[in-house]
Amino acid sequence: MSGLLAYVSRRLAVTFLILLAVSFAVYLIFAFLPFDPATLTCGKNCNDPGIIEANRIRLGYDKPFYEQYWVFIVGLFAGRNYGEGAAAIHCAAPSFGYSFQQHACVTDLIGEALPVTLALAIGALVLWLILGIGLGVLSARFRGRVLDTASTIFVLIGTSLPTFLTGLMLIIFVVIKWHLLPFPAGGYSSPFEDFPGWLNTMILPWITLAFAYAALYTRFVRSQVIETSTEDYIRTARAKGLSEGLILGKHTLRAALAPIATMAGLDFAGLMGGAILTEAVFNLPGLGRLSLGAVLDYDLPIIVATTLLAAAIVVIMNLVLDLVYAFIDPRVRV
């Protein structure tokens, strides 16, 4: 157990270094983009040189690049003040910067959007894993039979329907035509304040996302299970007289789990960058919408922060996956 702890802390240290490098790279990229960040702070149609120069000094864009980066890093740990005196704006640690267009600290904006995307991604992940693994295993078990054919059709539809179409169709039929669910109020409420309302908001987005992924996972799990079932140790399990259910549920699935976990981890990390279409269709104020808006408005501080966040999630997810491998495969444990 202490070995595991040492391993995790070593990996966390490495993760921290990687994130530092990523943040530097992101900073570097945006520093050399052919935009004047100070001009961008006052919106698209603004060309008042007074405001621009004032913002340049307030945000530190007049300083050399490396100094800006240093201030950024310090801000992450100690918070940051923009401007001086009574007009100063304070963003508490961890400060990712200040968006002049939204008049808000980036950290606060992310703090509002992150739970939405997290809820969306986790709910969808749980749904599509249950559906994808269940259907995949069943169609591998009953290969070539009716169930397998039915699931092939499901896979075909799921992989070819774009999510925004699935989402729209769900809204049209489930909400508008059949009145199975009340019309979503729009926006997002925390599950801790209004749980039924939260479920009502999230259920269709979950289904929309999960539908597409479940189809992919059904196909993947099916092929993994079929491939694993030709392994020698599966023949051994059968030669021992184990029941087919035990062979499938224990021996085959355990061996197929590692690649499935890899895929799930990376897909989940990808979604955390924001499920832009799904968030747009269901009017969810998540990270996808935040980044999309920022890109359209050239809101640099937000773009830098969401890029960093996406990178951080991928790196952390890789750490989680390595721990999952160690749990699944004893040969990985040292």
Partner 1 sequence: MSLLSVHDLRVEFATPDGIVKAVDGISFDVERGETLAIVGESGSGKSVSNLAYMGLLPKGKTKITGSVTLETDNGPVELIGMEPEDIRKIRGKDIAMIFQDPMSALHPFYSIGDQLVEAHQAHNKVEKSVSQERAIELLTLVGVADAKERLRAYPHQFSGGMRQRVMIAMALMNNPSVLIADEPTTALDVTVQAQILKLIADLQKKFKMAVILITHDLGVVAGAADRVNVMYAGKLVESASVDELYAKPKMPYTVGLLGSVPRMDRPHEDRLTAIPGQPPSLMKLSGGCAFAPRCTRKSEVPGNKCETTSPELIQISTGHYSRCHLYEGKTK
Which residues make up the interface to partner 1 (CB under 8 A)?
Answer: 144, 231-233, 235-244, 246, 251, 254-255, 328-331
The smaller minimum CB distance to partner 1, of residues 84 and 232, is found at 232
At closest approach, how far in Å is the CB of 250 from partner 1?
Answer: 8
Smallest gap from Cβ 241 to partner 1, in A, equals 3
Q: Which is nearer to partner 1, 38 or 253 (CB)?
A: 253
Please, what sign has the CA dihedral across residues 159, 164, 170, 173? negative
- Residue 175 vs residues 60, 170, 183: alpha-carbon distances, Å: 50, 7, 6
Is-contact 177 228, C-beta < 8 A? no
Q: What is the rounded CA–CA span in Å between residue 88 and residue 60?
A: 13
Q: Given the structure tokens 């996808």, which residue do they identify?
A: 288
Minimum distance of partner 1 from residue 9's CB (angstroms): 25
DSSP letter string, 59-96 = HTTTS-HHHHHHHHHHHHHH-EEESSGGG-EEEPSSP-
Residues 65 and 31: beta-carbon distance below 8 Å: yes
For the chain, the straight-line distance linking the first and the last C-alpha, in angstroms and rounded, comes to 11
Nearer to partner 1 (CB atom), residue 237 or residue 260 = 237
Q: How far is the CB of 237 from partner 1 (least distance, A)?
A: 7
Q: For residues 53 and 329, which CB has a smaller minimum distance to partner 1 in the complex?
A: 329
What's the closest the beta carbon of residue 230 comes to partner 1, in angstroms? 9
Give the Cα separation of 167 and 209 in Å (integer): 8
Instruction: Name the residue nearer to partner 1 (CB basis): 146 or 296.
Output: 146
Integer Cα distance of 173 and 207 in angstroms: 13
Nearer to partner 1, 63 or 238 (CB): 238
**219: nearest Cα among 143, 161, 126:** 143
Omega before residue 94 within 30° of 0, cis: yes
Instruction: Considering the complex, state which of residue 62 and residue 244 has its C-beta at the smaller distance from partner 1.
Output: 244
For the bound state, the minimum distance from the C-beta of residue 236 to partner 1, rounded and expressed in Å, comes to 5
Smallest distance, Å, CB 325 to partner 1?
11
